[in-house]
Amino acid sequence: MGSFEPVSLLKCETYEYSEVRKALEKSLSFIHGLDFVREGMKVGIKANLVTGMAPEKAVTTHPILIKVVCDMLTEKGASVVIGDSPGGLYTSAFLKGIYKNCGLLELEGDKVKLNDDFSVKDAEFPEAVSIKNFIYTGWLDECDAIVNISKLKTHAMMGMSCAVKNMFGTIPGTTKLEYHMRFPVEKAFANVMVDLNEFFKPVLYIVDGIDGMEGNGPTAGEKRHVGVLLSSKKPYALDMVCADIIGMTMNDVATIGAAYERGLGPKDISEVEVLGDITPADVRIADFKRATEHQSITFEGNGAFNAVKAFAFKIAFSSKPQVKKNECIGCKKCFETCPASAITMVSAANKNGKNGKVPQIDRSKCIKCFCCQEFCPVGAMKVKNNALGRLVKKIG
């Protein structure tokens, strides 16, 4: 085993409050996860609220899990604020709709609040690898500690969205698009995610793996029951376990590769100490559908042979966003969110078979950040592998 924080892995089959509470209490007992709580402190819960979809869609952190965490914290004398900055405007009006659709309004009480501070702050982080200066959501400054509660999902650009990737929600609203442009290369963008975790240093990470998302994630995929809750005090070994459960390795998840290269995370599952009643192998899902046939080829290996191998893999497994015109509703969301201004709306038959506007992507401008795919409200923007990648997948 490596010198990484252990990961607690427990079965949890439903979102019934009593079952979630029992599983989470046991999970956190293995890692002493609530030892940081002090009477009177304010704890910020950084949930995944990427878009305003109902909990049963498995896009966002489930409200029952958030409620259980809130109850456990307030019972120890803490107050709680729940927040995130989803894609879109970072305003009170926009977030109120997100909170409502994600089932969070009923969680508010005397000691639990939904974030209503939409200030932004400037940060300098000279120790960062990628993002040494950035803007972040100011509500986090008012918290004595941060708890990261993520959702286990596929992700077109990073391979998987989980504990590490969840901290991108500390970047306010449409500023995320600017950072996609600043860091269009996969490795640099993955290091942004690691930098944010190292800057904010959440004291506890919890993963909602009861229902995950496979396929066209992180917002337009299909719900897939996984039946687990996970926790750890650091995100990197935790993400390795999550990746292993859905059949991925460091080569498939860019953030895991970035953490490994920086000495923060493990190279593979054998270096992780897993605590609990089950092992990752007990719940592994071999046929978990990916967003892309992603292969990270930038994290280890030097020399001419490895350079040629990297180039070959990059060609074989390159992916790009592509619209399915018969599913498009012409809402222009992709056009509005494209950080590279690579999308124009052109006349074509739309979902209803009538002439309308559908997106057309300028491949010379596209940076393959998959923002268009992530924020398409109807899942009409798909991830398309090239012909060689599709052949390799079929043979495999």
Residue from 22, 63, 68 nearest 277 by CA: 22
Structure tokens at 377: 């409200």
pLDDT band at residue 313 under the 50/70/90 scheme: very low
Mean local confidence (pLDDT), 347-375: 82
pLDDT of residue 298: 43
Q: What is the pLDDT confidence band of residue 305, given thresholds at 50, 70 and 90?
A: low
At residue 309 the predicted structure's pLDDT band, cuts being 50, 70 and 90, is: very low
- Using the Cα atoms of residue 105, residue 35, residue 21 and residue 235 in order, give the sign of their dihedral: positive
pLDDT at site 353: 62
Q: What is the mean pLDDT of the chain?
A: 90
Task: In whole angstroms, give the CA distance from residue 378 to residue 229.
Answer: 28
Average pLDDT score over residue span 351-362: 80
Task: Specify the 3-state DSSP secondary structure of 374.
Answer: helix
Contact call for residues 169 and 50 (beta carbons, < 8 A): yes
Share of the chain above pLDDT 90, in %: 73
- Rounded to an integer, the average pLDDT of 104-112 is 98
Tokens 């409050």 correspond to 17
Rg (CA), the chain: 20
Q: Check residues 276 and 373 and name the one with the higher pLDDT.
A: 276
Q: Quick one: pLDDT at residue 369?
A: 86
Query: What is the dihedral angle through the alpha carbons of 137, 138, 141, 147, rounded to the nearest 10 degrees?
Result: -30
Rounded percentage of the chain residues whose pLDDT exceeds 70? 89
At 272 the pLDDT is: 98
Structure tokens at 56: 């049963």
- Confidence band, pLDDT 50/70/90 cuts, at residue 393: very low
> Of 196, 158, 220, which Cα lies nearest the Cα of 369?
158
Contact 359, 343 (CB under 8 A): yes
- Where does residue 281 rank: exposed (0-12), middle (13-18), buried (19+ CB within 10 A)? exposed
6: preceding bond cis by omega (within 30 degrees): no
Residue 106, pLDDT score: 97
Q: What is the arithmetic mean of pLDDT over 313-318?
A: 51
**260 in Cβ contact with 288 (< 8 Å):** no
Q: Which residues contact 70 (CB under 8 A, 6 or more apart)?
A: 45, 80, 82, 107, 111, 112
Residue 88: the pLDDT is 86
Is residue 228 pLDDT above 60, yes or no? Answer: yes
The secondary element (H helix, E strand) that includes residue 343 is strand 343-349
- The answer to whether residue 65 scores a pLDDT higher than 50 is yes
How far apart CA 377 and CA 329 sit, in angstroms, is 9
Query: How big is the chain, counted in residues?
Result: 396
